[in-house]
A and B are shown apart, each in its own frame.
Chain A
Amino acid sequence: MTNAQLEIQIILSLVAVACALPGVFLVLRKMALISDAISHSILPGIVLGFFITQDLASPLLIVMATLTGVLTVVLVEYIQKTGLVKEDTAIGLVFPSMFSIGVILIARNAGDVHLDVDAVLLGEVAFAPFDRWMYNGIDMGPKSLWMIGTILTVSISLLILFFKELKVATFDAGLAASLGFTPIGIHYGLMTVSSVTTVGAFDAIGAILVVAFMIVPAASIYLLTNNLKKMLVYSALLGVFASIVGYWIAHFLDASIAGTIATVLGLLFFMVYLFAPDKGYISQWYKIKQQKTEVAMLVFMLHIANHEEEQERNVNHLQEHINWTSQLARKVLRLANQNNMIVIKNDVVSLTPKGAEFTNKAVSYISDNKNAELEGIKQNFFLFRG
Chain B
Amino acid sequence: MINEYLNLLLKDYTLQIITLGTAVLGAVCGMLGSFAVLRKQSLLGDAISHASLPGIAIVFLVLGVKSNNGLLLGALASGLVSAVFIKGIISKTHLKADTALGIVLSTFFGFGMLLLTYIQKLPNANQSGLEKYLFGQAATLLASDVWLMTAIAGISLLIVLLFWKEFKMVLFDPDYTKTLGFNVKFIDTLITSFIVIAIVMGLQTVGVVLMSAMLLAPAAAARQWTNSLAKMVMLAGLFGATSGVVGTAISASANNLSTGPVIVLIATLFVVFSFVFSPIRGLLFKQIKLWKNRNDLKLMKTLMFMYNLVKDHEDISHPHKIQLLNNFQGYTKKSLKRLQAEDLILLNRSDWSLTEKGFNTAKNLYTQEL
User: Which A254-269 residues have C-beta < 8 A from chain B?
Assistant: 254-256, 258-263, 265-266, 269
Say whether B106 faces chain A, with CB atoms less than 8 Å apart: yes
Bitwise interface map of B from 92 to 133 toward A, beta carbon under 8 Å scored 1, else 0: 111110110111011111111111111001000000000100
A contact residues, range? 35 or more
Given A35-B102, A110-B256, A208-B209, answer yes or no on A263-B114 (Cβ-Cβ < 8 Å).
yes
Judge whether A96 and B212 touch: CB under 8 Å: yes
* B-chain residues with CB within 8 Å of residue A279 when the two chains form the complex: 93-94
Judge whether A255 and B118 touch: CB under 8 Å: yes
Q: Which residue of B lies closest to A288 (CB)?
A: B92
* B-chain residues with CB within 8 Å of residue A212 when the two chains form the complex: 103, 106-107, 109-110
Per DSSP, chain A at the interface is helix
Say whether A100 faces chain B, with CB atoms less than 8 Å apart: yes
Q: Which residue of B lies closest to A105 (CB)?
A: B261
The segment from A52-60, A87-95, A183-191, A376-384 found at the interface with B is A87-95
Judge whether B99 and A117 touch: CB under 8 Å: no
Inter-chain CA distance A82–B110, complex, in Å, is: 35
Say whether A351 faces chain B, with CB atoms less than 8 Å apart: no
Judge whether B37 and A85 touch: CB under 8 Å: yes
Judge whether A266 and B92 touch: CB under 8 Å: no
* B-chain residues with CB within 8 Å of residue A88 when the two chains form the complex: 40-43
Judge whether A262 and B113 touch: CB under 8 Å: yes
Say whether A315 faces chain B, with CB atoms less than 8 Å apart: no
Judge whether B213 and A93 touch: CB under 8 Å: yes
Say whether B204 faces chain A, with CB atoms less than 8 Å apart: no
* B-chain residues with CB within 8 Å of residue A33 when the two chains form the complex: 43, 98, 101-102
Say whether B271 faces chain A, with CB atoms less than 8 Å apart: yes
Judge whether A216 and B210 touch: CB under 8 Å: no
Given A208-B106, A212-B107, A253-B114, answer yes or no on A89-B93 (Cβ-Cβ < 8 Å).
no
Bitwise interface map of B from 332 to 358 toward A, beta carbon under 8 Å scored 1, else 0: 000000000000000000000000000
Judge whether B111 and A255 touch: CB under 8 Å: no
Judge whether A122 and B261 touch: CB under 8 Å: no
Inter-chain CA distance A82–B106, complex, in Å, is: 30
User: Which B277-309 residues have C-beta < 8 A from chain A?
Assistant: 281, 283
Judge whether A223 and B281 touch: CB under 8 Å: no
* B-chain residues with CB within 8 Å of residue A266 when the two chains form the complex: 103, 106-108, 110-111
Given A262-B106, A266-B108, answer yes or no on A256-B96 (Cβ-Cβ < 8 Å).
no
Say whether B31 faces chain A, with CB atoms less than 8 Å apart: no
* A-chain residues with CB within 8 Å of residue B101 when the two chains form the complex: 32-33, 36
Pick the most buried of A32, A35, A79, A93: most chain B CB atoms within 10 A of its CB.
A93
Pick the most buried of A31, A255, A279: most chain B CB atoms within 10 A of its CB.
A255
Inter-chain CA distance A35–B105, complex, in Å, is: 12
Bitwise interface map of B from 192 to 206 toward A, beta carbon under 8 Å scored 1, else 0: 000000000000000
Indicate which residue in B95, B109, B260 contacts A208 across the interface (CB closer than 8 Å): B109
Say whether A86 faces chain B, with CB atoms less than 8 Å apart: yes
Q: Which residue of B lies closest to A30 (CB)?
A: B96
Bitwise interface map of A from 243 to 284 toward B, beta carbon under 8 Å scored 1, else 0: 000000010011110111111011001000100000111001
Given A100-B264, A107-B257, answer yes or no on A91-B43 (Cβ-Cβ < 8 Å).
yes
Inter-chain CA distance A121–B130, complex, in Å, is: 14
Bitwise interface map of B from 4 to 46 toward A, beta carbon under 8 Å scored 1, else 0: 0000000000000000000000000000000001001111011
With A84-B283, A215-B99, A263-B114 known, 12 other A-B pairs at CB within 8 A are: A30-B98, A32-B101, A36-B101, A84-B224, A93-B271, A108-B254, A117-B131, A255-B121, A256-B117, A259-B111, A263-B110, A273-B88
A residues lining the B interface (CB < 8 Å):
27, 30-33, 35-36, 79, 82, 84-86, 88-89, 91-93, 96-97, 99-101, 103-104, 107-108, 110, 117, 121-122, 208-209, 211-212, 214-216, 219, 222-223, 250, 253-256, 258-263, 265-266, 269, 273, 279-281, 284-285
A–B complex contacts, Cβ < 8 Å, 6 sampled: A32-B102, A35-B102, A36-B102, A92-B216, A219-B103, A259-B110
